[in-house]
Amino acid sequence: MKHIKILSLILAVVMVAAMLGACSGKTTEKEVLTMGTNAAFPPYEFVDENNKVAGIDAEIAAAVAEKLGMELEIKDMAFDSLITAVSSGSIDVVLAGMTVTPEREESVNFSDSYATGIQVVIVKEDSPIATIDDLADKKIGVQTGTTGDIYCAGDYGEDAVARYDNGALAVAALQNGQVDCVVIDNEPAKAFVAANEGLKILDTEYITENYAAAIAKDNTELLEKFNKALAELKAEGKLDEIIAKYIKAE
Ligand code: ARG
């Protein structure tokens, strides 16, 4: 009997100690903000020489996390799995040069917009394709699940698009002659053309798209906090500063 009492006393002490430990751990550790992206989309996100995800989106997310007193963690994943990942809660937020579309808005909430993008067409310098009107009957390389993919499949048919895991692979397919052109956002297009010989971008009149962060529908608390932090970054000139670091004015 005496032994049992002592044992349960020891047990109680151990449990209280463990609880105290857990609590004090929480107060010192920062809450984590997990951002999902697809880091093959320069200058918005790319893997740098230190094997870290860098770029405009990574820096915006880091600045927002700092304002929220949170620690940023970045997960690199397939672009077409980002919406599911954020709506299922396996990541908190998507920053991926992601265009706000009505279809995506059915699954997630978007923050206020932080940048704009335009879908453009990359061709070989000697390509017979001169304008968008020449795209009919051509093979178009796109990144799976992007607006470029969705628009082209809609306008020219499923058979016209060749889907790749990222823009760089679509551009490689253009170089190899597997596709006749690549439809992708203007800033990554510029980066890919600069990094590859013999390519050019057509002058196009496509619609300007808005980029925003995607957050789960039920996480309105984070949406509000994100928008507030973003507004502050805009007001402080910090957002322009981040963008100007990666996109040089022409
Ligand atoms: N803006 C396009 C879209 O939302 C392409 C974005 C691709 N982003 C990326 N990180 N690969 O569909």
What confidence score (pLDDT) does residue 11 get? Answer: 56
Spacing, Cα 159 to ligand 1 middle (Å): 21
Residues whose beta carbon lies within 6 Å of some atom of ligand 1:
37-38, 40-41, 45, 79, 96-99, 117, 143, 146-147, 185, 209
Spacing, Cα 129 to ligand 1 middle (Å): 24
Task: Name the residue at shortest CA distance from atom 5 of ligand 1.
Answer: 146
What confidence score (pLDDT) does residue 29 get? Answer: 84
- Give the residue, out of 94, 95, 98, with the most ligand 1 atoms within 8 A of its beta carbon, to mutate for a pocket test: 98
- Give the residue, out of 143, 182, 186, 192, with the most ligand 1 atoms within 8 A of its beta carbon, to mutate for a pocket test: 143
Whether the model clears a pTM of 0.75, i.e. scores above it, the answer is yes
Spacing, Cα 166 to ligand 1 middle (Å): 9
What confidence score (pLDDT) does residue 8 get? Answer: 66
Spacing, Cα 12 to ligand 1 middle (Å): 54
What confidence score (pLDDT) does residue 12 get? Answer: 61
Q: What is the full per-residue pLDDT of the chain (250 aa) written as tens digits?
A: 556 565 565 556 555 555 555 555 555 689 999 999 999 999 999 999 999 999 999 999 999 999 999 999 999 999 999 999 999 999 999 999 999 999 999 999 999 999 999 999 999 999 999 999 999 999 999 999 999 999 999 999 999 999 999 999 999 999 999 999 999 999 999 999 999 999 999 997 677 899 999 999 999 999 999 999 999 999 999 999 999 999 987 6
Nearest atom, ligand 1, residue 184 CA: 5
Spacing, Cα 29 to ligand 1 middle (Å): 33
Phi, psi of 80 (to 5 degrees): -75, 5
What confidence score (pLDDT) does residue 2 get? Answer: 55
